[in-house]
Amino acid sequence: MTITAAADGSALGNPGPAGWAWYIDDNNWAAGGWKHATNNQGELKAVLELFRATAHVDDDLLVLCDSQYVINSVTKWMRGWKAKGWRKADGKPVLNLDLLQEIDEALVGRKYRFEWVKGHANHPLNEAADSRARAVSEAYQRNGTIPTGPGFVAGGAAPTKAAAPTKAAPTKAAAPAKAAAPRASADLGLFDLEVERPHTVQVALSAEELGRLKRRATGRGVSPEELLRDLI
């Protein structure tokens, strides 16, 4: 079997609050980040953590990346850098050395290949990884809770090919019921006025807009209503 996963990074301001994420399906994904890092560091860290999370399985690994820098670093340049003492052709030290050396170690004995995918082009796995990485960078920016994900869950949903994420999405769609629960005054948003009678706001969306809203909500593990509240 081949595990197909997307790996992506995000850095607000680049460098700035940064996140990384890898994504197989809604049951198998992970994310993390830093208060200050670059987009390339996020992309490399996502690949590293994907290899670490799947180190105990014998399956081939197909890594989908929208970063040519990451793909070329791992598949083309790394061997030459190592031969030159981790220096580039011009003699200058290789950037992001710690991450690259850790990736080099994680690749030992693994069966893998990389495939480039265009970013922000509605590729389901790439979009899912991108939205999770960005959610982490935004959480660091506002000092919020970091969405780390379940990781590679042993005994969970079997990792499958790229079509798999659409099967898991309905389990996240059941989340709107949480929005009705009362919250403390300090947590109130625009839609949560301190009155006993609830207020309803209706928003007219096109089919395309509604589809984008649902995909982004699923990518962050929240309901569309919760995502809208976070945007206000």
Looking at residue 93, the DSSP 8-state letter turns out to be B
What is the Cα–Cα distance from 204 to 79, expressed in whole angstroms? 54
Looking at 49-174, which runs of residues are DSSP E strands? Answer: 60-65, 112-116
Which residue is catalytic, options 25, 26, 66, 127? 66
What is the Cα–Cα distance from 42 to 165, expressed in whole angstroms? 22
Q: Does residue 230 have an active-site annotation?
A: no
Which residue is catalytic, options 25, 26, 127, 130? 130
Q: Does residue 187 have an active-site annotation?
A: no
- Report residue 94 as tokens: 């290789």
8 A C-beta contact, residue 165 and residue 124: yes
Q: Does residue 43 have an active-site annotation?
A: yes
CB within 8 A of 5, min separation 6: which ones? 22, 23, 24, 50, 54, 61, 62, 63, 64, 125, 129, 159
Looking at the chain, which runs of residues are DSSP E strands? Answer: 2-11, 16-25, 28-37, 60-65, 112-116
Which residue is catalytic, options 56, 90, 109, 120? 120
Which residue is catalytic, options 25, 43, 49, 127? 43
Between the alpha carbon of residue 11 and those of residues 156, 180, 215, 225, the distances in Å are 31, 33, 21, 26
What is the Cα–Cα distance from 52 to 107, expressed in whole angstroms? 9
Residues annotated as catalytic are: 8-9, 43, 66, 120, 130
